[in-house]
């Protein structure tokens, strides 16, 4: 086997983003990010050596089960982790400026203005005690120091931008007076009110009805188009990723296990975990009595991450590899092309010991004959 050359994270991002090469660093670059925190049961490594980059106006989807470190990553980017109990290593650079270890006052200035966050459940993420207009205006005033009146007008303007009917009147309402979808729109309006360059959306549609989900995703896509906002979209829903992301990063037990463009990863997954996730998505095309195919087992406790490849206890492709390989050696995140000694440069990388031949054999085994069409179909559903 060829030497496993670790990939430069910059080349992992999809080829379409390579236009930054001339201008220097990508807009957001995360390198070797590790987040550890102390819990009562011992230290937890929530994120382990994560690297990715994101260009202006593009969307990176981060997928994984709960506890895979998705949300911790987003909190670390904003510097919202509990500083007393968490240690963050590695580098997070926003337009070349280092955020890891930056002082709180500087981060505070960036939060809400340059980088904003949309939380999963707007009902808990909006304060029940202030009107939505006040909450949006508060953010705007914090960063612009404008008059109360101007901030109030901005709030109404933002509510109208995200499609809230009669915004002037609704600005005076409290979060509990809105429906779930409208509340999430308010949340997005609040995140966007200072025109941020980076929007981190942590499961923005999970708490919503399916029809409303589609509307919210559409809104995010529109916003991105209009303001060239870069979006990090955290989700466990591959349908959502297929709908609006350009690139996708699959996380497992705090590590990146697969990374590449959406088209590559969803149609030709290289990690057995990604394949499992794709196979577990219910299809409208399959017969009603076909049971769902979940990824067997459950995500590992971060207190005791399995050695070697963290996924090996649940991996169904293990029998294709020598006995101890998966449990003893941790696979590096490498591009297929690097592994084969070629330089394809499509940036699609996976952290798996499977070689091309074994992978193809395994994929044929897990994914039913008609399945490759279906992955395209998921992509279609959320467009």
Partner 1 sequence: MLRFLIRRTLSAALILLVVSAVTYLLFFALPSDPALLACGKQCTPQLLATIRHNMGIDAPVPVQYWHFLVGVFAGRNFGAASCPAPCLGYSFVNGRPVLQTLLNRFPATASVALGAAVLVLTFGVGAGMIAALRRGRAADKVAMGLALVGASMQIYFFGIVVRYVFVDQLAWLPLPGYTSPGASLTGWAGGMLLPWITLAVVNVATYARFTRSSMLESLSEEYVRAVRAKGLGPWGVYVKHAWRGAMTPIVTMFGIDLGLFLGGALITETTFNIPGIGKLAVDSVADSDLPMMMGTVLAASTAMVLVNIAVDACYAVIDPRVRAL
Which residues of this chain interact with partner 1, rule CB under 8 A? Answer: 78, 80, 84, 108-113, 116-117, 119, 121, 124-129, 131, 138-139, 142-143, 174, 176-177, 190
Decide: 120 and 204 in contact? Cβ < 8 Å: yes
Q: How many CB atoms lie within 10 A of CB 38?
A: 13
Residues 6+ apart with CB under 8 A from 155: 132, 133, 134, 136, 137, 140, 171, 189, 193
If the CB atoms of residues 82 and 324 are measured against partner 1, the closer one turns out to be 82
Minimum distance, C-beta of residue 41 to partner 1, in the bound complex (Å): 17
Minimum distance, C-beta of residue 249 to partner 1, in the bound complex (Å): 21
Give dist(CA 190, CA 157) in Å, integer.
11
If the CB atoms of residues 136 and 265 are measured against partner 1, the closer one turns out to be 136
If the CB atoms of residues 141 and 270 are measured against partner 1, the closer one turns out to be 141
Minimum distance, C-beta of residue 139 to partner 1, in the bound complex (Å): 4
- What are 310's strand-pairing partners? none
If the CB atoms of residues 172 and 364 are measured against partner 1, the closer one turns out to be 172
Decide: 331 and 6 in contact? Cβ < 8 Å: no
Minimum distance, C-beta of residue 54 to partner 1, in the bound complex (Å): 18
Residue that the structure tokens 């809400």 belong to: 112
Minimum distance, C-beta of residue 142 to partner 1, in the bound complex (Å): 5
If the CB atoms of residues 202 and 374 are measured against partner 1, the closer one turns out to be 202
If the CB atoms of residues 106 and 364 are measured against partner 1, the closer one turns out to be 106
First to last CA, the chain: 40
Residue 339 in 3-state DSSP?
helix
Residues 6+ apart with CB under 8 A from 53: 9, 10, 12, 13, 17, 26, 27, 28, 29, 30
Residue that the structure tokens 């990939």 belong to: 7
Minimum distance, C-beta of residue 214 to partner 1, in the bound complex (Å): 24
Give dist(CA 283, CA 239) in Å, integer.
11
């Amino acid at each position: 086997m060829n030497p496993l050359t670790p990939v430069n994270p910059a080349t992992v991002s999809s080829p379409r983003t390579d236009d930054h090469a001339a201008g220097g660093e990508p807009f957001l670059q995360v390198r070797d990010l590790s987040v550890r925190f102390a819990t009562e049961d011992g230290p937890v490594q929530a994120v382990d050596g994560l690297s990715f980059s994101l260009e202006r106006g593009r969307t990176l989807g981060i997928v994984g089960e709960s506890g895979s470190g998705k949300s911790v990553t987003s909190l670390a980017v904003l510097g919202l982790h509990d500083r007393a109990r968490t240690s963050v290593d590695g580098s997070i650079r926003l337009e070349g400026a280092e955020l890891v270890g930056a002082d709180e006052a500087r981060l505070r200035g960036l939060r809400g203005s340059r980088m904003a966050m949309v939380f999963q459940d707007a009902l808990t993420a909006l304060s029940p005690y202030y009107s939505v207009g006040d909450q949006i205006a508060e953010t705007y005033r914090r960063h612009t120091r404008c008059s109360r009146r101007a901030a109030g007008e901005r709030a109404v303007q933002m509510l109208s931008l995200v499609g809230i009917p009669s915004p002037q009147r609704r600005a005076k309402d409290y979060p509990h007076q809105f429906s779930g979808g409208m509340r999430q729109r308010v949340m997005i309006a609040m995140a966007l009110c200072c025109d941020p360059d980076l929007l981190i959306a942590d499961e923005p549609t999970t708490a919503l009805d399916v029809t409303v989900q589609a509307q919210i995703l559409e809104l995010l896509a529109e916003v991105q188009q209009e303001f060239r906002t870069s979006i990090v979209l955290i989700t466990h829903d591959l349908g959502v990723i297929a709908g609006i992301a350009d690139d996708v990063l699959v996380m497992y037990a705090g590590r990146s296990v697969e990374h590449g463009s959406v088209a590559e990863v969803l149609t030709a997954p290289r990690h057995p975990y990604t394949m499992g996730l794709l196979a577990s998505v219910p299809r409208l095309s399959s017969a009603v009595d076909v049971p769902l195919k979940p990824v067997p087992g459950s995500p590992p406790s971060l207190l005791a991450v399995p050695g070697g490849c963290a996924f090996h206890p649940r991996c169904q492709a293990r029998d294709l590899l020598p006995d101890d390989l998966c449990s003893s050696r941790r696979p590096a995140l490498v591009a297929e092309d690097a592994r084969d000694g070629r330089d394809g440069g499509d940036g699609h990388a996976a952290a798996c010991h499977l070689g091309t031949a074994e992978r193809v054999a395994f994929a044929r085994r897990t994914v039913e004959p008609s399945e490759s069409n279906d992955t395209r179909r998921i992509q279609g559903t959320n467009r």
